[in-house]
Amino acid sequence: MKVLLLRDVEHLGKAGEIKDVSGGFGRNYLLPKGFAVLATKSHIKQAEERLAAQRRRAEAARREAEALAAKLSALTLTFTAKVGEQDRLYGSVTNADIAAKLREEVGIEIDRRKIMLEDPIKRTGEYEVPVELASGITATLKVVVVGE
């Protein structure tokens, strides 16, 4: 029995694939649970159209992420903080602070978890902070911390 998978099924395949399965497995498990439909011409055509639309959306999101990466790479964010001995900050600059500054000053909304700051910044100076926008697309944001 040929079925078109609607969802990823462990040990069988990914959504959109056409698989040959035993009749019992298809009728008693895949079809009733909504994991698959019979592989008819109309279902195959619908799946191909869905896949093409998904590819178009993914490509548009990728182009948008690349444009945002170029914009972020040109930016420099400046933070001012109280400084103690040896240029150590009272407090620190975290990825949440960087995300908030991007939102307030530039109007760019980025999730703080996408800002790949290994440790909070605790000293004055210039830092290169990677920002992962999409899989494989990373921008480098320049962060400058100065003392008051």
DSSP state of 83: B
Q: So what's the architecture of 65-147 in CATH?
A: Roll (3.10)
Predicted confidence at residue 50, as pLDDT, reads 87
Name the pairing type of β-strands 125-134 and 137-147: antiparallel
Q: Where in the chain do CATH 3.40.5.10 domains reside? A: 2-60
Specify the higher pLDDT residue, 148 or 52.
52
Residues 47-61, mean pLDDT to the nearest whole number: 91
The pLDDT tens digits for 57-108 are 999 999 999 999 999 999 999 999 999 888 899 999 999 999 999 999 889 8
Q: What is the distance between the alpha carbons of residues 39 and 107, in angstroms, rounded to a whole number?
A: 47
Predicted confidence at residue 143, as pLDDT, reads 94
Other CB atoms within 10 A of residue 87 CB: 13
Predicted confidence at residue 141, as pLDDT, reads 93
The pLDDT tens digits for 120-143 are 999 999 999 999 988 889 999 999
Q: Where in the chain do CATH 3.10.430.100 domains reside? A: 65-147
| Beta-carbon contacts of residue 68 (< 8 Å; ≥ 6 apart) | 108, 133, 139
SS3 127: strand
Predicted confidence at residue 16, as pLDDT, reads 87
Task: Tell the CATH superfamily of the 2-60 domain.
Answer: Ribosomal protein L9, N-terminal domain (3.40.5.10)
Residue where the block lists tokens 């964010």: 77
Predicted confidence at residue 85, as pLDDT, reads 86
**Which residue(s) pair with 49 in the sheet?**
none
Residues 93 and 121 sit within 8 Å (Cβ to Cβ): yes
Residues 32-39, mean pLDDT to the nearest whole number: 94
pTM of the model: 0.69
The pLDDT tens digits for 10-26 are 999 998 899 999 999 99
Instruction: Tell how far CA 101 is from the center of its chain.
Output: 20
